[in-house]
Structure 1
Amino acid sequence: MNSNMEKPYVVGIDIGGTNTVFGIVDARGTILASGSIKTGAYDEADNYVDEVCKNLLPLIIANGGVDKIKGIGIGAPNGNYYSGTIEFAPNLPWKGVIPLAAMFEERLGIPTALTNDANAAAIGEMTYGAARGMKDFIMITLGTGVGSGIVINGQMVYGHDGFAGELGHTIIRRENGRLCGCGRHGCLETYCSATGVARTAREFLTARTEPSLLRSIPAENITSKDVYDAAVQGDKLAQDIFDFTGTILGEAIADFIAFSSPEAIILFGGLAKSGDYIFKPIQKAIDDNILMIYKGKAKLMMSELKDSDAAVLGASALGWELRDIK
């Protein structure tokens, strides 16, 4: 008998710097039950895992009990798939190396896997979203930073240490590159994340003199959403910010395509929802910079996962690949 029939559900847990969201998911990607807790409220990882389990267990029991759960998947910053550990995550309250997957396995007796949040998003897209049936694609997450998940021949690329695929930290500006949270200068995420768009807005407003709707907002409070709202209202400066951002991202993607010749580049996150304002300059920069043999081959696509569900779905997709603990 198919073990997926005996165990028809998986659990997805997404650990963010602010909130942790968890849910029970069926094979079609329907979230049957979900909940959340504040990540930052727990200084000790042990207390945090206890609290997640305390909130998760009633949901599991209400959906047939532990025997119906095939596995738990966790998406987390600095998550290492090989070791099931979170390692030196700057935005989480627990320092050092935390054996998180083992901690959940011990408490719940359910096999648990963990990976970083962008890899989880890519696996979710492959299981439930736009990348169903694809064997080669790159997922790029445009959030506070720029994350990426690389799938080659149907396999997530983890590298020899579990940390492959940090395309957001490829250096794309050598001269006077912006300082990145990683301590280096000129990383892609300093330009093409939501935070990067806000930085560009402040630079443009200082360097240029023309009127803009963005001038009515205190510079330090400007967000990428403000830039989008202004662009929609025909604000030229805001539209130029998107052109600048999309061009840099498109140039980088042209290089990424040369690395793995993917069928698609899939964009995920709030910034990707800016539609043509971001997609048109990205596509133009890809077309202008790509090596001839790759021209027109890789599709530029928007994620099909709903934002509110994507984190849990991505993490949960890891759970289907796990074997039962003996």
Structure 2
Amino acid sequence: MKKYGFGVDVGGTTCKIGFFENSGNMLDKWEIKTNTENHGASILDDIVASLESKLADAGISKDEVEGVGIGVPGPVKNDSVVCECVNLGWGTFDVAETLSEKIGLPVKVGNDANVAALGEMWKGGGQGCQNGVMVTLGTGVGGGIIINGSIVGGVHGAGGEIGHMKVSETETETCGCGKRGCLEQYASATGIVRLTKQRLAADDAKTSLRSLPEVTAKDVFDAAKAGDAVAQELVEEVGRILGGALGSIAVVIDPEMFVIGGGVSRAGQILLDAVQKYFKERVFKSCQETKFVLASLGNDAGMYGCAKMIFNA
């Protein structure tokens, strides 16, 4: 029987909302502003108004809707309790219970990176995979772990926070989390730029990167593809650090695949090749053939994952 569900990916600027059939077909998507004034007090009410408007326009009753899945930028416990979302102004409270009371539908809540992982395993780059890890390489490094088709959120809602794995004992600069030597400091877009600046300051080796007014991670990969030796060294370094970190994850959970997403993933095969090279050097023999694929849903991944939480229930 055809049923429906909503996937709501709440960000600091906008809420991305998808309306789905339980087959996974997205019928419509739209955005509303995330009003963070007064500690985000109106965010849930704004979401309810938007969802109810959509149902009225579509002529669909709530009896035909399985529920609402919602992704948030912060730790989540038990598909329900949000443990502080600084970007939204929220403290710790039961989002699922509160939203369910407001809209009269079942609600499940997940961390934004985790629900994106679930979406990619359902309808994206990892489609059909029941045991996988998504790595999001953007301004920071995010992650999501899916085991037997479900999110591993952890006791404290911190499951999948792979960006804060310690990968260096000698780092002197501080990560955004307050620690030193986190994966995010090397494999994120900002981390790659940081490594590049350090490399350019180390000597006067000839490289096209020196002629750029402001180097980006994309510039590094583009230069490496064009044969720039310094850029190729940097890509190797990122591959060594990220491949090693994913190797450590693999010997713990033995995933079927890693799905690599985020802005840095647009580098494509050159990134996958560098990561796989060092991953294979690091891991136990049984994990050697773990697959690496690129994410394919882009900014829609979170909406798909949120909907999947509801359809999994």
With normalisation by structure 1, the TM-score equals: 0.87
How far did 1:256 drift?
0.9
Deviation of residue 43 (structure 1)?
A: 3.4
Aligned residue for 1:270?
263
CA RMSD of aligned residues (A): 2.2
On the 8 A contact 2:4/2:22 being kept in 1, the answer is: yes
Q: How does 1:239-278 map to 2 (within 5 A)?
A: 239-278=232-271
Distance 1:27 1:95, change over 3 A: closer
Map of 2:91 onto structure 1: 96
Shift of 1:95: 4.2
Question: Superposition pairs for residues 44-55 of structure 1, below 5 Å?
Answer: 44-55=39-50
- Output the CA distance in 2 between the equivalents of 1:29 and 1:178: 44
1:281 pairs with one of 274, 286, 294: 274
Q: How does 1:133-282 map to 2 (within 5 A)?
A: 133-219=128-214, 222-282=215-275
Q: For residue 17 of structure 1, what is the aligned residue in structure 2?
A: 12
Given the superposition, is the C-alpha separation of residues 255 and 83 from structure 1 closer, same or farther in structure 2, using an over 3 Å criterion?
A: closer
Q: CA deviation at 1:40?
A: 5.5
Q: 2:87 aligned with 1:87, yes or no? A: no
Residues 82 and 161, structure 1, Cα contact 8 Å, conserved in 2: no
Query: Which residue in the other structure is 1:302 paired with?
Result: 294
Pair 1:49–1:258, CA change in 2 (3 A): same
Match of 1:247, SS state, is helix
Shift in Å at residue 267 of structure 1?
Answer: 1.3
Question: Closer, same or farther in 2 for the Cα pair 1:40/1:228, shift >3 Å?
Answer: farther
Displacement of 1:199 after TM fit? Answer: 1.5
**One-letter amino acid matched to 1:151:** I
Q: Does 1:67 align with 2:63?
A: yes
Counterpart check, 1:78 vs 2:69: no
- Displacement of 1:41: 4.5
- Looking at structure 1, the residues matched to 96 and 23 of structure 2 have their Cα atoms a distance apart, in angstroms, of 24
Q: Which amino acid aligns with 1:250?
A: G
Using the TM superposition, give the Cα deviation of residue 125 of structure 1 relative to its aligned residue in structure 2, in angstroms.
2.4
Partner of 1:122: 117
Question: How has the CA–CA distance of structure 1 residues 247 and 31 changed in structure 2, closer, same or farther, with 3 Å as cutoff?
Answer: same
Q: Distance in 2 between matches of 1:127 and 1:293?
A: 25
Question: Could you tell me whether the CA contact under 8 Å between 1:33 and 1:59 is conserved in 2?
Answer: no
Query: Where do 5+ consecutive residues of structure 1 fail to align?
Result: none
How far apart, CA to CA, are the structure 2 residues paired with 1:9 and 1:225? 39
2: CA distance, partners of 1:177 / 1:282: 24
State the one-letter code of the partner of 2:302: A
SS in 2 for 1:161: coil
* Cα offset, 1:186, TM superposition: 0.5
Corresponding residue for residue 285 of structure 2: 292
Aligned residues between the structures:
312
> Match of 2:310?
319
Looking at structure 2, the residues matched to 257 and 71 of structure 1 have their Cα atoms a distance apart, in angstroms, of 34
Question: 2-side partners of 1:312 and 1:22: how far apart?
Answer: 6
CA pair 44-173 structure 1, distance change in 2 beyond 3 A: same
Q: 1:41 to 1:223 in 2, by over 3 A?
A: farther
The superposition leaves residues 202-239 of structure 1 with CA deviations (integer Å, 9 ceiling, x where unpaired) of 222222323434334444xx332333343344433333
> Identity of counterpart residues, as a percentage?
33
**Alpha-carbon spacing, 1:55–1:229, altered in 2? closer, same or farther (3 Å):** farther
Q: Secondary structure at the match of 1:96?
A: strand
CA shift at 1:247, angstroms? 1.3
Matching residue's letter, 1:301: V
Distance 1:306 1:295, change over 3 A: closer
Matched position secondary structure for 1:230: helix
Q: Which amino acid aligns with 1:87?
A: C
For the residues of structure 1 that align with 2:243 and 2:152, how far apart are their CA atoms? 22
Quote the offset at 1:72 in angstroms.
0.8
Equivalent residue, structure 2, for 1:58: 53
Structure 2 alignment gaps of length 5 or more: none
The SS at the match of 1:122 is helix
SS in 2 for 1:186: coil
Q: Alignment partner of 1:44: what SS?
A: helix
Contact 1:239/1:277 (<8 A) preserved: no
Matched position secondary structure for 1:187: coil
